[in-house]
Structure 1
Amino acid sequence: MIRVHGGFANKLYRLDTEQGSFAVKELNLVDNRGTYPVDDVFRFEQAAFAAGIPMPEPISAGRDTLVHRWVEGETVPEEPVPAAFAFEIGEILARIHRLDVEWTHEPIDEPTPHDWRELAERAAATGQPWADELASRVDTFLAIAHFVETCERPGPVVLTHRDIQPWNLLARGGRPVVLDWELSGMLDLSGELGSTALSLAKGPGFDDIQPDIFRAVLDGYVAAGGMLPSPGPSWFVFMVGGWLGFTRWNILRCLAGGTASTGPDLALSHESVRNGLRGLPGLFERLPDLETLIS
């Protein structure tokens, strides 16, 4: 198998055989952030593929290994996508949300992390290159954690992909292919729509957000029969909370040091920490402005 580098959480390989090419993903079970409901996700993927959702064909799923048929396509850069591409993503979401799939996994609500001051002290004591940056933003991260903990989620809750971001998409003939379904599960609809639409409407930061692309995702969702939830901060709390947890997870990996047997390389964890320390405060400050994208 040939290693394909660049994954943020797991390790990916390409396997070429006489029966075709396959993507083999080695799941990080050493320090992953949650349980992986193998049977539920695989059943969900099979139903989505059978319904014509553009995605790699699911071949097999085990406790630590996922196999899909390899799909050729162009990577989607982290920049505003074309309006037609965004519209089709909205349609795909509506189709996914209509799938009738049994989901037996009971979600476990992890407590929102409030140990940012302790993490900053440990980072300083171990000489982490971003320790000063974390220390200067402790109060901001505590405020972000409070927002995530107290923000009301109005519902409805849907079974969905939960992670449609540029790095989990391919473009084939200018049209989207949805990858990486292992984070699938139940989620408040507003959080799924807000996270997806914002990620497709912006560049690496938040200085280039195109409202027409954001709206194109929502227009596609409605055109395919979906109903939009009421506007409010709940549209962005899932994105903020997910990024908060991801940043903390990578901080802990950096504090542990060494090279983990699974998951991202240590250098990628350091990069992810820096991105979180700089990007999350910017996203948090812009929440009032982002709510205007919905209305």
Structure 2
Amino acid sequence: MNDTQYNLNFEKLCSELKLGELLSSPKPISGGLLHRMYAIETTQANYAVKALNPQIMIRPTAVQNYIDSERIATVAAEHIHAQPAKRLMGASMHNIDNQFYFIFDWIEGQRLEQDEVTINNSSLMGTILADIHKTDFTQLELDRSQETNSKKIDWMFYLNKGKNENSEWIEILDSNMDKLYEWSTKAKSSSSMLASDKVISHRDLEPKNVMWRQGKPIVIDWESAGYINPMHDLVETAVYWSVDSSENINKEKFLAFIGGYKKRVGSLTANWEVVLDHGFAGKLDWLEYSLKRSLWIECTDIEEQLVGTTQVIWTLEALEQYENMISDMKNWLNS
């Protein structure tokens, strides 16, 4: 078990950043699977506070990556409705006793569940993704040297370690072992083929990362923002906005998203087979990270370990479902 733990001190956070005095205990809220989010009410205002995962923040490039993600959000907010972190005391990210935080103004709005997404929602989000891709971020002078292609993953290492610890996912991981290496080969090959064409984007524009207020979307949670192949980002995001809660894809919503994107950029030219193969990459990376959490290789506490275990099973199922979608999506994109 790693000694890196969350070290939350909201009173000191509010005091040092002059946010006002807390009126009640911070309330945990849904905020993704990597970090922890809290709603706080002070004498000045209501805020959403993101406490960044300490295990992630010890990575050599993590601090700069998160600073850059908020710089991207700030520029994007000049072109779309987006919510960057608040700049306080001259900074967007704050370190209080080795615990990093982002502070956001509280948004009165709602997220759409997957089954609530309409064709119009999908089309609108397609245009918003295009607007992000068309945004000029050159002023930020972001470092591209940290970009990496899909790496080789030793899945047998995790299977054997899981067997030693009697992990609950060993059967489903074992049964997918051949597929994992097949998907990894496709991800690595497609990553190399798409590497030369990159834009800066949100990179995680799922329904959970969009707040709707009076029918208008506000894009939140920019922590994953960075360079990405635009057609891969397009297809992956179109899937986010066209699958239901059972991960079944809806053709009309998928094509509505693509159509919304094309309204801004015109016709599309791509090798869709390569683009679709690259869709395995992010899921495989997430699977490996979930395995590390489940096995206490990169994990802060039991709560995170349980999330890792759940996500291993969910991601393996998602990979199978994605493979089953590819044929239909390829036909839709080529038609």
- TM-score, scaled relative to structure 2: 0.79
Matches within 5 A, 1:182-261: 182-206=223-247, 208-225=248-265, 228-256=268-296, 260=300
- Is 1:170 equivalent to 2:211 in the alignment? yes
- Is 1:157 equivalent to 2:198 in the alignment? yes
In 2, Cα distance between equivalents of 1:20 and 1:222: 40
Q: Contact (CA 8 Å) 2:130, 2:265: kept in 1 or not?
A: yes
Opposite residue 135 of structure 2, the aligned amino acid is L
Cα deviation for residue 265 of structure 1 reads 2.4
Equivalent in 273, 276, 280 of residue 319 of structure 2: 280
Task: Summarize deviations over 1:175-222 as a string: whole Å, max 9, x none.
Answer: 32211101101110111100110111112444x311111111121112
Opposite residue 308 of structure 2, the aligned amino acid is S
CA RMSD across the alignment? 2.5
The 10-residue stretch of structure 1 (274-283 or 97-106) with the greater mean CA deviation from structure 2? 97-106
Q: Percent identity?
A: 22
Q: Contact (CA 8 Å) 1:170, 1:177: kept in 2 or not?
A: yes
Aligned to 2:174: 135
Cα deviation for residue 162 of structure 1 reads 0.6
- TM-score, scaled relative to structure 1: 0.89
Q: Contact (CA 8 Å) 2:123, 2:256: kept in 1 or not?
A: yes
In 2, Cα distance between equivalents of 1:171 and 1:42: 21
The 10-residue stretch of structure 1 (82-91 or 94-103) with the greater mean CA deviation from structure 2? 94-103
Q: How has the CA–CA distance of structure 1 residues 236 and 80 changed in structure 2, closer, same or farther, with 3 Å as cutoff? A: farther
Greater relative contact order, per chain length (Cα 8 Å cut-off, separation 6+): 1
* Structure 2 unmatched ranges of 5 or more: 1-25, 95-99
Aligned to 1:291: 330
Cα deviation for residue 24 of structure 1 reads 1.3
Task: Summarize deviations over 1:148-198 as a string: whole Å, max 9, x none.
Answer: 001132763111101111222222233322111011011101111001101
- Is 1:49 equivalent to 2:88 in the alignment? no
Aligned residues: 292
- Is 1:62 equivalent to 2:62 in the alignment? no
Question: Larger Rg: 1 or 2?
Answer: 2
Opposite residue 252 of structure 1, the aligned amino acid is K
Opposite residue 153 of structure 1, the aligned amino acid is L
Q: How has the CA–CA distance of structure 1 residues 24 and 103 changed in structure 2, closer, same or farther, with 3 Å as cutoff? A: farther
Aligned to 1:77: 113
Partner SS state of residue 58, structure 1: coil
- Is 1:97 equivalent to 2:137 in the alignment? no
Q: How has the CA–CA distance of structure 1 residues 65 and 82 changed in structure 2, closer, same or farther, with 3 Å as cutoff? A: same
Q: Contact (CA 8 Å) 1:113, 1:245: kept in 2 or not?
A: no
Q: Which runs of 4+ in 1 moved over 4 A?
A: none
Q: Contact (CA 8 Å) 2:242, 2:251: kept in 1 or not?
A: yes
Cα deviation for residue 285 of structure 1 reads 3.8
Cα deviation for residue 137 of structure 1 reads 1.0
Aligned to 1:270: 309
